Every structure is written in structure tokens, then in C-alpha cells.
Amino acid sequence: MPETRIHPVTGKLLRRDVRRRAVTYRHLSEEVDVPGWYPDDDNDAVHSGTDLADEDDVFQRLKGQVVAEDGKASQ
């Protein structure tokens, strides 16, 4: 895999890296490491589906927690 690539829209140079991102669902939030192709600034990263798998798993877990809390509150 090449160490760099060019962003298809912005033309910025991207490097393979891992960055922390906050995953939030309503009142719950958790940080997760997200691999991807990132520019030197914080704009316009490029990710594949496998890059976002952990982020999606955390989102689904947080959503499940909120749904469970809402179910208990309505009982």
C-alpha cells in the first residue's frame, strides 16, 4: 500500500494514520481510534468501510445503551 495518496476532491496530500474521534449518541460519548487517509490539517479525511468498523461498533453499542435506558425509564 502506498504511504501517501491524493484526495480525490481537494487534491491534498493524504497520509495513512490513526486519529482519535469522539463517537456520540445522544448523551453518551466515547473516543475511538479511526484509521484512514488524513491530510496535515483536520479536514477531508478518506476512509474505507473497514476503517470505520470500530467507530460503527461503538456507535451501535452506545445506541443500544440509550434504547435500554429509555425502555427502563418507560416502565
**Where do the domains of the chain lie?**
4-73
Give, in words, the CATH class of 4-73. Answer: alpha beta
Bridge-partner residues for 46, per DSSP? 37
| 68 confidence band (pLDDT: 50, 70, 90) | very high
22-47 pLDDT, tens digit per residue, is 999 999 999 999 999 999 998 899 99
pTM of the predicted model over 0.75: yes
Secondary structure E strands in 1-75: 4-6, 13-25, 28-38
The H helix count followed by the E strand count for the chain is 1, 3
* Rounded CA separation 75/69 (Å): 10
